[in-house]
Amino acid sequence: MWTIVIVILVIAMMLGPIMIMQPSKSQRRLAKLRGHAQKLGLSVGASTLKTDSGRECWFYWLNLPKACQLSTVSLERENYAHGLHLADFWSTKKPVSDPQRIETFLRALPDTVCGVDVTDHTLGIHWSEKGGIEALDTLYSLLKLLSETVPAKPSIETDGTQ
């Protein structure tokens, strides 16, 4: 009788830590979402931005095949509208080279996006990952559309003469 109890306790002690290491339902959902992002061609990384409610955002970005003509800019969604903001709620510390194009893009973004970063080689959003794969597909479409409308920087050609 005691042998059976001891064997059951030993098995429980071996299986306990293994069961604890299993990912939770929310961790599996996030892994699936980020895996889908990678299949679309987006890269994912940690972000320093948070939503108004304190929820963490994650940075999803699209690498551009060529350098674009947009200046490097970082935009952050504010919780109030202001005349100096782009598209009412988006603040930046330096002027945007093509505000019309960026404003159209910003107005199309859902409230779950808390920031946008544009560099010569990437277009990215800081997203709270709410809305699942459908929301991610929408955000990818918006990033892709913006990337296709960005003209390439003119290349500097040299003819070999100094």
Q: pLDDT per residue over 29-61, tens digit each?
A: 999 999 999 999 999 999 998 888 888 999 999
Note whether residue 14 is domain-resident: no
Query: 148 falls in which pLDDT band (50, 70, 90)?
Result: confident
Note whether residue 46 is domain-resident: yes
Flag whether pLDDT at 145 surpasses 50.
Answer: yes
Note whether residue 25 is domain-resident: no
Query: CB of 116 within 8 A of CB of 101?
Result: no
Flag whether pLDDT at 155 surpasses 60.
Answer: no
Note whether residue 23 is domain-resident: no
Note whether residue 102 is domain-resident: yes
Flag whether pLDDT at 67 surpasses 70.
Answer: no
Note whether residue 4 is domain-resident: no
Query: 158 falls in which pLDDT band (50, 70, 90)?
Result: very low
Nearest to 146 by CA among 114, 110, 106, 115: 106
> How many domains, in total, are found in the chain?
1
Note whether residue 85 is domain-resident: yes
Domain that holds residue 63: 42-149
Whether the predicted model's global pTM rises above the 0.85 cut: no
Per-residue confidence (pLDDT) for residue 88, from 0 to 100 = 84
